[in-house]
Structure 1
Amino acid sequence: MKAISHHVPDAMLAAYAAGSLPYPFALVIASHVSLCIECRAALEAHQGIGGALLESAETVAVSDGLKADILARLDAPYTPEPVHRRKGALPGPVMSALKGREPRWKSLGMGVRQDILHAGKEGSVRLLYIPPGQAVPDHSHNGLELTLVLQGSFSDATGRFGVGDLEIADEDLEHTPVADPGDACICLAATDAPLRFRAIVPRLLQPLFRI
């Protein structure tokens, strides 16, 4: 696997370590960390800081056994799956979200498919399958979108994203991601608000596809 060049911002990694990210975003970050040595080390540093803060905090009325258990969990090494995976394998956090099943792909048209892993008030997270050379319709965002590449790669106005790379898109970005030649691009994408499509057909189909 080529070196990962698009990482989790430190503030978002700290929020993940603190357990304050909504589930859709947390799943994407956990999956990225399982692939990225650099972000895994940064996460362990944040977890270590959290453990030190707990140790120095004012004592509260809890049993010694409970405190020891909490600190042990914080100090335990993070052991995600190895960075070098067999081709086509999904990260452990994604397999957990799938509950061991294979993706149940639903067509979005033009060869693009999706499997919605979770949808709720806090947002949604889905697997996307994009054939080589195929574009996702031009869109902007009503909130935040995290997209992690699991297979293949895609390119847009901000650059190229390969396996393990994380794209973070906000309300200021309008883009048209295109899957690069070679393997089909499989992504894990999380949003906290519906996308904004420019073309009429995607807008009409948006409620049906829950994008």
Structure 2
Amino acid sequence: MSAITHHTPEAMLAAYAAGTLPHAFSVVVATHVSLCDQCRTTLAAHQAVGGAILDDMDSVAVSGGLRSALMQRLDEPFSPEPVYDRSGIYPGPVMEALKGEPPRWKTLGMGVRQSILSSGGEGSVRLLFIPPGQAVPDHTHNGLELTLVLQGSFSDETGRFGVGDLEIGDESLHHTPTADPGDPCICLAATDAPLSFNAFLPRLLQPIFKI
């Protein structure tokens, strides 16, 4: 894997460490951190700071009812969540979102496919498969979009993004991502609002594809 040059912003890593990042973005950040030594080190520093702050906080007395309810919950049988390891190009956080199953690809046209991992009021996260040389229709953003490359690479108006690189798009970014020659580009993408396509046909199909 080539050197990662596009990283998760530190403010976003801090939000992830604090547990305040929306689920869709958390999946992408967790996946990037699993690939990037630099961001993993920064995240560990934020987690250490958070732990130190908790240690310094004054304790707060709780009611007897709350304590009893907590102890009762601790006595209940515990079923640990399964732990998913990397499978092929898909790191553990992606396999967790896939629940250990292969992606269920659905065609978007022109060879482009997607597999929606989750979708809800706070946003959506999906896998995108883009054949070499194929472009995603030019668009801008109504919110925030995180795109992490898992295989191949793509280029747009801002530069080239290879495996492990994270592109962050907002309302100011108007681009036409195009998969580079070589392997198909497979990305993990999360959005908190629908994209804003410029061409009529993508806008027409947008509600169907949930992009």
Q: Secondary structure at the match of 2:20?
A: coil
Distance 1:44 1:61 in 2: 30
Q: Which amino acid aligns with 1:13?
A: L
What is the aligned-residue identity percentage?
73
Alignment partner, residue 105 of structure 2: 105
**Where does structure 1 lack aligned partners over 5 or more consecutive residues?**
67-79
Q: How does 1:159-198 map to 2 (within 5 A)?
A: 159-198=159-198
Alignment partner, residue 148 of structure 1: 148
Distance 1:53 1:60 in 2: 15
Count matched residues.
192
Q: Which amino acid aligns with 2:93?
A: P
Alignment partner, residue 134 of structure 2: 134
Q: What displacement does 1:153 show?
A: 0.3
Distance 1:60 1:52 in 2: 17
Q: What displacement does 1:61 show?
A: 2.9
Q: What displacement does 1:58 show?
A: 1.2
Tell whether 2:89 aligns with 1:89: yes
**Where does structure 2 lack aligned partners over 5 or more consecutive residues?**
71-83
Alignment partner, residue 5 of structure 2: 5
Q: Secondary structure at the match of 2:190?
A: strand
Distance 2:202 2:186 in 1: 20
Q: Secondary structure at the match of 2:149?
A: strand
Q: Which amino acid aligns with 1:36?
A: C
Distance 2:60 2:159 in 1: 50
Distance 2:92 2:124 in 1: 19
Alignment partner, residue 22 of structure 2: 22
Tell whether 2:30 aligns with 1:45: no
CA RMSD of aligned residues (A): 1.6
Distance 1:11 1:56 in 2: 23
Deviation string, structure 1 residues 27-69 (Cα, Å, up to 9, x no partner): 0000000000000000000000000001111122379xx9xxx
Tell whether 2:171 aligns with 1:209: no
Q: What displacement does 1:89 show?
A: 2.2
Q: What displacement does 1:4 show?
A: 0.3
Distance 1:89 1:180 in 2: 18
Q: Which amino acid aligns with 1:153?
A: S
Q: Which amino acid aligns with 1:193?
A: A
Q: Which amino acid aligns with 1:58?
A: D
Deviation string, structure 1 residues 76-110 (Cα, Å, up to 9, x no partner): xxxx97xxx88x42010000000011011000000
TM-score, length-scaled by structure 1: 0.88
